[in-house]
Structure 1
């Protein structure tokens, strides 16, 4: 079962949908225009039901097969990123400072293409739930949709997700069972010392010096307290203190992220951060308060569903075009919440030799559309055989 012929024939039309979405990017939960576009398409395709406002601005389409059976959900994300696009494409973003730099426009278009095909053919027994999610990049839209009854209201038994991957050739897929993508936590460290004149540092407790020491000290948590075979990243990405050349600032703030691939390592990093941050600051006479915010959990692919997803991908792309041992990555994905709620699997589809995700010159490769859309269709037809 290679690429579905009708999806290949419609690839240019679907690319047009994708490019429309690319021109009109929206952020987070504020994806009203995108959601309306998706809902209108689903209504036009003749799906059995369309629900809007799930998880604030999410859209859900429902398609029933030829006979009763299990229910599986397929998820695409709709939101863009606050990045100024530099791709130079004819379909580049028309909204300054916003762009689809992660390919969610492609994800949405591929699932819409599969939705039309499934609504027309209904060559399956059971129900397909098409999930178009807001706020994947920030805000936890997956959790919001789950909290709004996504799994229970629509009777979902299993859930599948897909993301494009620059660097993997178009026409290839990659995945792995178990821990696949990292947890994502944010940290904010507020510092308070004693400010004063830059010429009299002995009368001050310098928040800049304390902050610099903290930036270095937290790296020892990864290099010296975590098993080298395990994985963790602590990145301090923002340091704000002071406003002029001759004043030692009274306060400062550090902001960063923590990524891990296991709950145990995640717990360890949080505990060690509190100790290292507070004691390092105290050594400089500065008070430090750490706010540790857990955002996305580790994305863990279920073994049985991952094996099944790999089989479907081989049907579409060929036996040699599917990597089932892709190394885990320290990027994160809020699809992890859905895999905590129901069994399922997350897979990457190749995007070719393009700029990387979240890069201002990135663009989704439309040549991937027939592969991704065919994967969705074949997955439904195999998971819910008529």
Structure 2
């Protein structure tokens, strides 16, 4: 049987796996049961694997009988601290924990790819490393530790996908070069002198100082960064729990910075620091600025990206394979691409006839027909890349 036709025969199994995992989500660095589910699946198939990252990460290896390159395919499997608000039979059974980003689908895809590669191994070129990674959602992320533990040893190229619930099923999109941004976070604590709200002149108002920063910071990207260089500075948190008749002595704000280039990140951070110095002087408050570096930007390699898009076009036709826009979301797949050549892409998973629900939302769901699309593109790309590169 043709390898893609074999994938089709396991489509319902892929959906069943996704639904089981959706009902049993686990948070980052806590995914012991999910890891056990993955290893049990490979045990049943007779596929060899190695457990890394404190026993939660799993790297399965399948060897073809013919010489070729070693190709890695990666799937993440952590969930988010979100209450599942969907009314579906496969709703999360764990309060406050939900697969709201599609990682359950990623895992189902890779497990069935593993099954098909194992069954077809006598006719395959090269080797295949199936990387099941925990903790993509929480920095420093699982990828960097998986690499440290050796998951990329001997790998010539790596491919991965993200199910994209706001794009139509049957579509694939990616781009050469920068695809997803570097996601940094920050907190800024303001400490002044509190007092009675009826006597504001006797205080050094930390809330006013923080508010001044928030308003002025909106000019950093719009007036200090070249508009041809995508970037984001968003304030997402303001914490000042005081009584209504009290001007508090302290408050904390937080947010995120998203960039693709180091020099743009440097401009934004330096401008934030200068703004803080002016606010300290004007408002008479102390300020503590803590900046947390996130994952690097996802930067696809040219040859591997063209190869994947060509494979996708042969499956879906060219009109369904498009050049992706640069996304300001982050992904720790970026670390793999810093070590080996490869490509990360988006697979459309919008539920037909429904309003698009963004990722990380309590109502998030997928059109499960997207699982087979992603599995076919990944399998065709990996197997043909290994075969065609075998003589190089």
TM range (shorter): over 0.9
Compare 51-60 and 201-210 and name the one that shifted more: 51-60
Counterpart for residue 317 of structure 1: 316
Secondary structure of 1:39 counterpart: helix
Alignment of 1:1-386 (within 5 A): 4-47=4-47, 49-54=48-53, 57-122=56-121, 123-139=123-139, 140-152=141-153, 155-323=154-322, 325-353=323-351, 354-385=356-387
Q: Give the superposition deviation at 1:78.
A: 0.2
Spell out, residue by residue over 1:92-112, the C-alpha distance to the aligned partner (whole angstroms, 9 max, x if none).
Answer: 000011111101000100111
Partner Cα distance (1:307, 1:4) in 2: 20
Work out whether residues 185 and 291 of structure 2, in 8 Å CA contact, stay in contact via their aligned partners in 1: yes
Spell out, residue by residue over 1:186-209, the C-alpha distance to the aligned partner (whole angstroms, 9 max, x if none).
Answer: 101011111111121111100000
State how many pairs are aligned: 382
Secondary structure of 1:4 counterpart: helix
Partner Cα distance (2:310, 2:349) in 1: 20
TM-score normalised over the length of structure 1: 0.95
Work out whether residues 185 and 254 of structure 2, in 8 Å CA contact, stay in contact via their aligned partners in 1: yes
Q: Give the superposition deviation at 1:67.
A: 2.6
Secondary structure of 1:151 counterpart: coil
- Structure 1 pair 124–249 and aligned structure 2 pair: CA distance change class (3 A): same
Spell out, residue by residue over 1:147-196, the C-alpha distance to the aligned partner (whole angstroms, 9 max, x if none).
Answer: 222223xx112111100112321111000011110001010101111111
Compare 122-131 and 51-60 and name the one that shifted more: 51-60
- Structure 1 pair 284–3 and aligned structure 2 pair: CA distance change class (3 A): farther
- Structure 1 pair 232–56 and aligned structure 2 pair: CA distance change class (3 A): farther
Work out whether residues 159 and 382 of structure 2, in 8 Å CA contact, stay in contact via their aligned partners in 1: no
TM-score normalised over the length of structure 2: 0.94
Partner Cα distance (2:291, 2:264) in 1: 15
Spell out, residue by residue over 1:217-256, the C-alpha distance to the aligned partner (whole angstroms, 9 max, x if none).
Answer: 1111101000111111111111111421122111111111
Q: Give the superposition deviation at 1:12.
A: 1.2
Q: Give the superposition deviation at 1:56.
A: 5.3
Work out whether residues 17 and 108 of structure 2, in 8 Å CA contact, stay in contact via their aligned partners in 1: yes
Instruction: Give structure 1 stretches of 5+ with no counterpart.
Output: none
User: Over the residues paired in the alignment, what is the CA RMSD in angstroms?
Assistant: 1.6
